[in-house]
């Protein structure tokens, strides 16, 4: 099976995974938002920051190393498996015994015992590093889809909602996360039951460590930069304010949680195999950005203009006053996938030094901005955070283009379709919100969303050249991989689009 066929098959199941996970998670979060207090969300935001940061150290890039290698041996698997477990246990112990100091630093606004329970995730995640990497490397995204589906259903939709309904609040969030991770790890291991026999080879260990050490530094600094605002806010502000800020950020971060995380596996695996083929590498990267930018444009525009409606629908009426902050974060929502997929280029090319320096600059800027505005409003703090992300995006995209030997002119050309579509969508939205017909705002939101789809699909059907030949061909290939196109309505549309190219 060719790389393109494997990638398209992977995309098929990743799209299914995105859809199912998004539906389950959004329903779960909608229920959480109505049952759980601001304080509990603030506490969980701090706990999650510590866990994500330490997980980056625990994994130490071992899984990504296995994906990035052209060929792997049993010694690679053995070292990655046992080294991950060792780091998982060590980091668990560090976090467990550091819990009293962490709780004291936050003036016991974050429970010590909750920190210690969350730390169990470090051991659980370490057990699944190799199996998850092997599934991604072999494009077995159908199996990943199944594990994500079952994990989110059992751990989130059932257990988490039940505990939230019973009034456990913070523990509903903590235990839900714990069981989701445990179920996913167990099912992934079932699908890739690799040998756990210890097999050591110095050369293989060095290959894993060489790549993993660079990636770990890159991820740790990136994770710190992404979450340092919550760590600072948790120290100086009440937990209900932190929870308020975190939920506003969560809505804007949905594309990264679902779209980026899923597509990244296919993209990283593909780019790793094309790292020595500059034209194909550039084509895959730019075409992915071009397609994703259109999706993000639709999401960001609606998030900006219909923030109150989106908040009320997804997390509840009591969060409605977070609308101005969500509006600010809508700009972050647009640029974050550019940052994420540029990071993917850096990982595929194994160029971590330059990438890490950019992450350090971003982290320093963000810390400075947050501390400077710490006594100001949340809107000002959010604006400062978004500004730091824009600087981050400019630097990281420029570096990705440099190491992939892609001229800036070629990048701008790939973004041109998104710019033209953006003007159309913006004009349409301004017209809708400024025509006062006494219509319900939620109705206007769904009308706007429907028209976004009509304009996007209509322009693809009528003037496909506007998106560029390569982008349209990739898009059509993805559609064909999702459906049985033999003499169907969809196949007729695909033929029509190709005739217009």
pLDDT along the chain (501 residues), means of 10: 50 62 75 83 84 67 66 70 83 88 86 87 82 75 79 84 87 88 87 67 67 71 84 86 85 73 65 67 77 80 88 83 90 86 81 87 93 90 93 92 85 78 83 74 83 78 60 55 52 57 51
Q: Does residue 242 contact residue 227 with C-beta atoms inside 8 Å?
A: no
pLDDT score recorded for residue 465? 61
Neighbours of 407 (CB within 10 A): 10
As given in the structure block, the two tokens for residue 406 are 């892609």
DSSP H helices in 36-157: 38-59, 62-68, 74-105, 112-118, 120-127, 129-137, 141-151
Distance CA(39)–CA(492), nearest Å, equals 54
Distance CA(399)–CA(51), nearest Å, equals 29
CA-to-CA dists, residue 440 to 299, 377, 444, angstroms: 20, 30, 6
pLDDT score recorded for residue 367? 93
Q: Which residues contact 222 (CB under 8 A, 6 or more apart)?
A: 343, 359
Q: Which residues contact 97 (CB under 8 A, 6 or more apart)?
A: none
Q: Which residues contact 349 (CB under 8 A, 6 or more apart)?
A: 271, 275, 403, 404
- Residues 6-41: b if buried by 16+ CB within 10 A, e if exposed: bbbbbbbbbbbbbebbbebbeebbebbbebbebbbb
Q: Which residue has the tokens 């059932």?
A: 158
Instruction: Give the CA dihedral 327, 328, 333, 334, nearest 10 degrees.
Output: 100
The candidate with the shortest Cα–Cα distance to 170, out of 125, 209, 113, 215, is 113
Cα 112 off chain centre by: 28
pLDDT score recorded for residue 16? 64
Distance CA(482)–CA(15), nearest Å, equals 9
pLDDT score recorded for residue 390? 93
As given in the structure block, the two tokens for residue 216 are 């770990």
């Amino acid at each position: 099976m060719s790389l393109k066929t494997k990638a398209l098959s992977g995309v098929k199941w990743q799209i299914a995974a995105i859809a199912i996970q998004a539906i389950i998670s959004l329903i779960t979060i909608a229920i959480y938002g109505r049952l759980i207090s601001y304080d509990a969300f603030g506490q969980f935001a701090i706990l999650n920051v510590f866990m994500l940061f330490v997980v980056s150290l625990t994994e130490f890039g071992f899984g990504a190393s296995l994906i990035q290698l052209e060929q792997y041996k049993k010694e690679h698997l053995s070292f990655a498996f046992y080294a991950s477990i060792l780091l998982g246990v060590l980091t668990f112990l560090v976090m467990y015994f550091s819990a009293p100091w962490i709780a004291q630093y936050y003036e016991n606004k974050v429970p010590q015992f909750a920190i210690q329970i969350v730390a169990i995730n470090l051991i659980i995640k370490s057990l699944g590093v190799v199996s998850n990497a092997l599934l991604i490397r072999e494009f077995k995204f159908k199996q990943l889809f199944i594990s994500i589906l079952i994990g989110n259903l059992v751990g989130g939709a059932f257990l988490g909602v039940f505990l939230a309904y019973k009034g456990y609040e913070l523990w509903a969030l903590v235990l839900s996360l714990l069981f989701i991770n445990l179920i996913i790890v167990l099912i992934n291991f079932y699908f890739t039951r690799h040998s756990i026999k210890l097999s050591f080879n110095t050369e293989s260990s060095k290959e894993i460590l060489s790549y993993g050490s660079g990636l770990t530094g890159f991820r740790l600094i990136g994770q710190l930069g992404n979450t340092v605002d919550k760590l600072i806010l948790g120290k100086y502000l009440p937990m209900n304010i932190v929870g308020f800020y975190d939920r506003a950020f969560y809505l804007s971060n949905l594309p990264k949680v679902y779209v980026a995380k899923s597509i990244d596996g296919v993209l990283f695996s593909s780019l790793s195999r094309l790292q020595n083929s500059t034209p194909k590498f550039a084509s895959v990267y730019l075409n992915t950005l071009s397609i994703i930018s259109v999706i993000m444009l639709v999401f960001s525009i609606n998030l900006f203009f219909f923030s109150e409606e989106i908040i009320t629908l997804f997390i509840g009426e009591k969060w409605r006053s977070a609308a101005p902050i969500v509006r600010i974060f809508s700009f972050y929502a647009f640029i974050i996938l550019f940052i994420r997929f540029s990071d993917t280029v850096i990982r595929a090319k194994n160029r971590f030094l330059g990438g890490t320096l950019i992450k350090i600059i971003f982290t320093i800027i963000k810390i400075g901005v947050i501390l400077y505005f710490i006594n100001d409003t949340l809107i000002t703090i959010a604006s400062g955070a978004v500004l730091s992300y824009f600087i981050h995006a400019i630097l990281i995209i420029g570096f990705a283009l440099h190491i992939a030997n892609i001229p800036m002119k070629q990048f701008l050309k790939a973004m041109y379709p998104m710019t033209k579509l953006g003007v159309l969508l913006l004009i349409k939205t301004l017209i809708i919100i400024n025509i006062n017909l006494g219509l319900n705002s939620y109705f206007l939101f769904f009308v706007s969303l429907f028209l976004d789809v009509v304009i996007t699909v209509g322009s693809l059907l009528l003037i496909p050249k506007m998106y560029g030949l390569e982008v349209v061909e990739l898009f059509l290939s993805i559609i064909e991989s999702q459906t049985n196109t033999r003499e169907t309505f969809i196949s007729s549309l695909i033929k029509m689009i190709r005739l217009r190219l």
